[in-house]
Amino acid sequence: MSTPALVGSCGCGAVRFEIAEPLLGALYCHCTRCQKRSGTAYQASALAAPGSVTVTDGAEHLRDWRPGGHAKAYCGECGAHLFARDPETGAIAAVRMSAIDGDPGVRPQARQYVAYHPAWSPIPDDGLPRYDEAMPRLQP
């Protein structure tokens, strides 16, 4: 049996997962949905290879918020946000980087939806490309 590339969990540990393949990339999202979900000015997500993420414990605790586009999966026990899931198949398309234990092996490559960034938190001058709307390709 091989060791997974990465592991992670929700805040309370009720939901645990493994990622069997390296993540494909990452981004910061400044959209108002991410702000409301995370309680911050933006959140970081990593794109997962299709079929590479497996929930190993606590799948019964997962809940989805379906505001349109990808479903936003979170732990129903502690509220920690974990995944973006394909609304048709339920397949995990992206993982919230804060849920990954250790170094995810990728760094955010861009900032999307910066047109919606709140005035109370300046966007860091980190040199990353900025997109007023969705970034091409890494959209979950």
Q: For 38, phi and psi rounded to 5 degrees?
A: -95, -20
Contacts of 131 (CB under 8 A, 6+ apart): 110, 111, 112, 113, 114
Query: In the predicted model, is pLDDT for residue 139 greater than 60?
Result: no
- For 32, the enclosing helix (H) or strand (E) is helix 32-38
Strands 108-112, 25-29: pairing kind:
parallel
Count of beta carbons in the 10 Å neighbourhood of residue 118:
13
In percent, how much of the chain has pLDDT > 70? 94
Strands 6-9, 62-65: pairing kind:
unpaired
- For 72, the enclosing helix (H) or strand (E) is strand 71-75
Cβ–Cβ < 8 Å for 77, 12: yes
- For 92, the enclosing helix (H) or strand (E) is strand 92-96
**What is residue 14's DSSP assignment?**
S
Query: In the predicted model, is pLDDT for residue 140 greater than 60?
Result: no
Residue that the structure tokens 């494909």 belong to: 24
Question: What is d(CA 78, CA 72) in angstroms, rounded to the nearest whole number?
Answer: 15
Highest mean pLDDT pick, 81-90, 99-108, 128-137: 99-108
Residues 43-78 have pLDDT tens digits of 999 999 999 999 999 999 999 998 878 899 999 999
In percent, how much of the chain has pLDDT > 90? 82
Question: What is d(CA 3, CA 123) in angstroms, rounded to the nearest whole number?
Answer: 37
